[in-house]
């Protein structure tokens, strides 16, 4: 793995947000959900997440997650993703969401 500079790392904007809506994304090539994440002063942003093995849509609403907010938009089929929800792959390669250890205000920046 190549090293990056501290300057490049500082440019990555990671923020806490709360999932306010989650629904199936049947048009996706791989099983996924469409999420809306409340990022406080940054507003509510849309994203797609391949997290269907560990979560159901109704369980996701109200969860705080960590998002990369400055990657730009990405077209996923007919859906425009605005942020990237972060997570870790388990032993089977299925994603578990990265989450703050406790409540923080929506939009809080990871330091």
pLDDT score, position 103: 96
Per the domain annotation, does 64 fall within a domain? Answer: yes
Per the domain annotation, does 106 fall within a domain? Answer: no
Per the domain annotation, does 44 fall within a domain? Answer: yes
Neighbours of 94 (CB within 10 A): 16
Please write the tens of the pLDDT for every residue from 17-67.
999 999 999 998 899 999 999 999 999 999 999 999 999 999 999 999 999
Q: Closest Cα partner for 82 from 25, 54, 42, 111?
A: 42
Mean pLDDT of the chain: 96
CATH number for 65: 2.40.50.140
With a threshold of 0.75, does the pTM exceed it?
yes
pLDDT score, position 9: 87
Per the domain annotation, does 40 fall within a domain? Answer: yes
Containing structural domain, residue 30: 14-97
Q: Closest Cα partner for 37 from 71, 82, 1?
A: 82
Per the domain annotation, does 102 fall within a domain? Answer: no
- Number of structural domains (the chain) is 1
Per the domain annotation, does 6 fall within a domain? Answer: no
pLDDT score, position 78: 87
């Amino acid at each position: 793995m190549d090293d990056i500079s501290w300057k490049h790392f500082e440019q990555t904007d990671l923020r806490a947000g709360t999932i306010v809506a989650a629904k199936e994304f049947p048009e996706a090539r791989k099983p996924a959900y469409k999420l809306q994440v409340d990022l406080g002063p940054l507003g509510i942003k849309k994203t797609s997440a391949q997290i269907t093995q560990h979560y159901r849509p109704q369980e996701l609403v109200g969860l705080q997650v960590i998002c990369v907010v400055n990657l730009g938009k990405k077209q996923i089929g007919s859906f425009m993703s605005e942020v990237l929800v972060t997570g870790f792959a388990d032993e089977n390669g299925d994603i578990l969401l990265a989450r703050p250890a406790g409540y923080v205000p929506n939009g809080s920046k990871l330091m």
